[in-house]
Structure formats: structure tokens, C-alpha cells
Amino acid sequence: MKELKELLRQTEFSRDDLTRLISLEAQDDREALYRAAYAVKARTVGRVAYFRGLIEFSNICTKDCLYCGIRKSHRGVRRFESTKDEILRLAKWVWENRYGSVVLQSGERTDPKFVGFIEDVLRGMKELSCGELGITLCLGEQTEETYRRWFDAGAHRYLLRIEESNPALYARFHPQDGNHVWEVRDRCLTALKKIGYQAGTGVMIGLPGQTAENLADDILYYRRKGIDMIGMGPYIVASGTPMGDAVEASGGNTAEEKRRRFVLGLNMIAATRLALPTVNIAATTALQGLDPRGRELGLRAGANVLMPIVTEPRHRPDYQLYDDKPCVEDTSEECLACVTGRVRWAGDEPGFGSWGDSRHWYERRGRSPEPGREAGEGIAGTLRKPRRVIEIRCAAAPREELQTVGK
């Protein structure tokens, strides 16, 4: 077997290589993995964390995933739907506070009213920000026509988590009712890339029965699919769901088991960064749900995107995909101060005012990066002088001087 030091210097990784990295348990070995992944991050996409203000605007969902806290059949959920004015007010706050990008997330719906509503909201966000806000959608499976309408209205990134790249495992965690078909989800990712979106996906980590080999296959799926951005996190129980209740009943939600899932989450971020150096990787809120420093440690393991919650405060308690979700009681202003401090604690700088688009997307399409929009415009580990995060301004924008990223 290769020495770990030799393995971490590789640029190509086999299934066995990835399985070994994901399975690392000894603290010294894991720290070596995280240092290697962070060095790759610094060299390829920079020591900058890009913010995506997360607006969770509805928990109405037509899906019934066995693990999800807002699944259709969950009778303990109080349903809500934000208005267009509420969403635009939140988006304006994101823009004025220089997050650079916003994420619109909700339960999955495909009805014409919903499709038209999103199209209208997208045009409104582009208008209020003079086209400056980058927009990511996380709205589930749709038709290619719907994806194209939303793209034409201003969205340019789309996160659709495959949840599990193995169709057989996917079937174990979803009802077999014709509304939860792995192949449909996979085809949606193909359609998103075809249209021109920066395509994102991800998986839950530490699911019952999931192996390190399965997780290695997930990374290989990202590579094979040509994914531009990754949003994945450790599995956290959602009480009142079939899977959550079964995990609790079997004794699978102990502190030790939660720690195992958390470590797997960090190992997956690091292994993905090594295997896919130029993709964007989120340090998800679920990491913080299992460890108070979870998101910072995710950044140190190779992640470069954070998604601070800016959801309407009165709706936050009702948008809980899993138990004990952090930041639910914080205001948007508190979240901004908090995540800025977390980023700097991790050794990075916030990429204020920049879209931080996936460098992999530019490479995949053979396009030159656009100023102020490409991840990696912050300070990189191999640079002698810091680059600047270039902001794109219009007459209506709040006036602030450009700031150099890095010291």
C-alpha cells in the first residue's frame, strides 16, 4: 500500500484511492488530508469563501423523501409560502450587503403557477440589483422547458442534489411511487448542463447502509457527470420521518455516530477537492449542526462557499430539513457578522461583491473568466501578491470602496 504522503501528492485518484481517503480515522492522517486539500484549494480557487444568501421561501413540497423534515406526508409541518415582495426585499438586503449571490430554495413543485412565480421573481431580482446579483436555484426536478425559462429570466446556477449516486441505494431512501426516480433526477442534471447552467449536485453522507466505497463512487459520479459545484453534508436525523424514526429506534443516532458522520463529511470535502480541484464546494450548515465549528472546519478541508440564511425570520422555524438546524433564531445581520468571523478564523477572506463562479464551469465551456465572477479572484496560496475581488457596480448600488482581499 502507498504511503499516505505519496497518495496525497497525486493528481489522479482511483476508486480505491478515494475509498482510503474517505475512510481515514486517525487524527494525524485526517489532518494531513485536510492540509493537502486546503493547499489545492488555495492554489486553484483561492483562499476566499464566497457567500450565497439563502432564501428558503416555501416548504410546500410534492416529494415524500423518507429522510426529509418537510416531506409531503409530514403532518407536523406548518406550511408557508413567501410572497414576491418578501423575497425581493430579502434579495435586496443580500445585494446591499455585498454577498454577491443569492440562493432560492423551496420544496419541489412543478405546477404552472409556481413556474411562473419563480420566473417573475427572477426578473425582479435582476432589475432591483441592476443585474449584479448572481442567482442559484435549488428547486428540484423540472422539465427542460422550465429550466430554460428560469435561465432566460436570470438564474445561472442550479443545485440539484442526486442524494445518492447509486440507484439502488437511492431507491431505499425514497418511496417507490413513480415520483422519486433516480434516472429522472440524473437526466435533469444533463439538461441543466445543456442549457448552460453551472450545474451542482451532492449527496448525504453517512446514510444507513452507505459504505466508503459508495461515497467514493459519488465523487466519481461528480467527475463523470462534469459537475461544477458540490453541495453535500452529513446526514442528520429529522424526527417524525420514516428514516429518522428508524435510525433513532435502532440506536443509530448516538453522539459517537453523529461524530462519525461529521468526520465522514469533512473527509468527503477534502477527497472531492483533491479529485476535482476547480469545482466550488459548499461548507454546509449541516456540518455546523453536528459541530459548533463545522463550517470553518469544512473550509479548512477544502470548501470555498458558504450559504448564510437570510430567510424571512418568521418562516425559519418551519423550514427544517433536519433536527436542531443552526442559525434559525439569528437575524440576517447576526449571520453576516458570524460567518465573516468564521471565514477569517478558518484562514480565508470573504469574497464580498463577487459571484465566485465555478472555475470548472469556465474550463468545461472553454470560456475566459469574467472579472468579478470567477472563484479564485481572492488571495491564492501560490500568489506573491493578493488579487482583488472586483465588484460590478451600478448607479443604484450602495457606495463602498473596493477592498483588497488578503493581507
Strand partners, 203: 163
| φ, ψ (nearest 5 deg) of residue 105 | -135, 140
User: β-strands 48-58, 101-106: how paired?
Assistant: parallel
Q: Do the beta carbons of residue 282 and residue 307 sit within 8 Å?
A: yes
Ranges of each domain in the chain:
13-365
**Per-residue pLDDT of the chain in tens (407 residues, 90 and over written 9):** 899 999 999 999 999 999 999 999 999 999 999 999 999 999 999 999 999 999 999 999 999 999 999 999 999 999 999 999 999 999 999 999 999 999 999 999 999 999 999 999 999 999 999 999 999 999 999 999 999 999 999 999 999 999 999 999 999 999 999 999 999 999 999 999 999 999 999 999 999 999 999 999 999 999 999 999 999 999 999 999 999 999 999 999 999 999 999 999 999 999 999 999 999 999 999 999 999 999 999 999 999 999 999 999 999 999 999 999 988 888 899 889 999 999 999 999 999 999 999 999 999 888 766 655 666 543 322 222 333 333 333 434 333 332 322 32
Rounded CA-CA distance 45/283 in Å is 15
Take residue 246 and report the three cell numbers written for it: 428508524
DSSP states along 233-252: EE----TTSHHHHHHHHTT-
**N-terminal to C-terminal alpha carbon distance within the chain:** 41
Instruction: Please state the separation of Cα 111 from the chain's center in Å.
Output: 25
Number of C-beta neighbours around residue 331 at 10 A: 12
Instruction: Identify the helix (H) or strand (E) that includes residue 123.
Output: helix 112-128
Rounded CA-CA distance 18/206 in Å is 16
Q: Do the beta carbons of residue 388 and residue 402 sit within 8 Å?
A: yes
The CATH homologous superfamily for domain 13-365 is: Aldolase class I (3.20.20.70)
CA dihedral angle for residue 159, residue 160, residue 166, residue 170, rounded to 10 degrees: 140
pLDDT digits over 51-107, tens only? 999 999 999 999 999 999 999 999 999 999 999 999 999 999 999 999 999 999 999
Q: Give the model's pLDDT for residue 226.
A: 97
Rounded CA-CA distance 152/164 in Å is 30
Q: Give the model's pLDDT for residue 387.
A: 30
| φ, ψ (nearest 5 deg) of residue 277 | -60, -30
Rounded CA-CA distance 60/386 in Å is 45
Closest CA to 53 of 89, 100, 122, 87: 100
Strands in 316-368 per DSSP E:
349-350
Closest CA to 55 of 145, 146, 148, 124: 124
Alpha helices in 54-111 (DSSP H): 84-96
Distances (CA, A) of 127 to 21, 92, 133: 46, 10, 10
Q: Do the beta carbons of residue 389 and residue 370 sit within 8 Å?
A: no
Please count the helices (runs of H) and the strands (runs of E) in the chain.
Answer: 15, 11
Instruction: Identify the helix (H) or strand (E) that includes residue 205.
Output: strand 204-205
Rounded CA-CA distance 304/42 in Å is 10
Q: Do the beta carbons of residue 305 and residue 281 sit within 8 Å?
A: yes
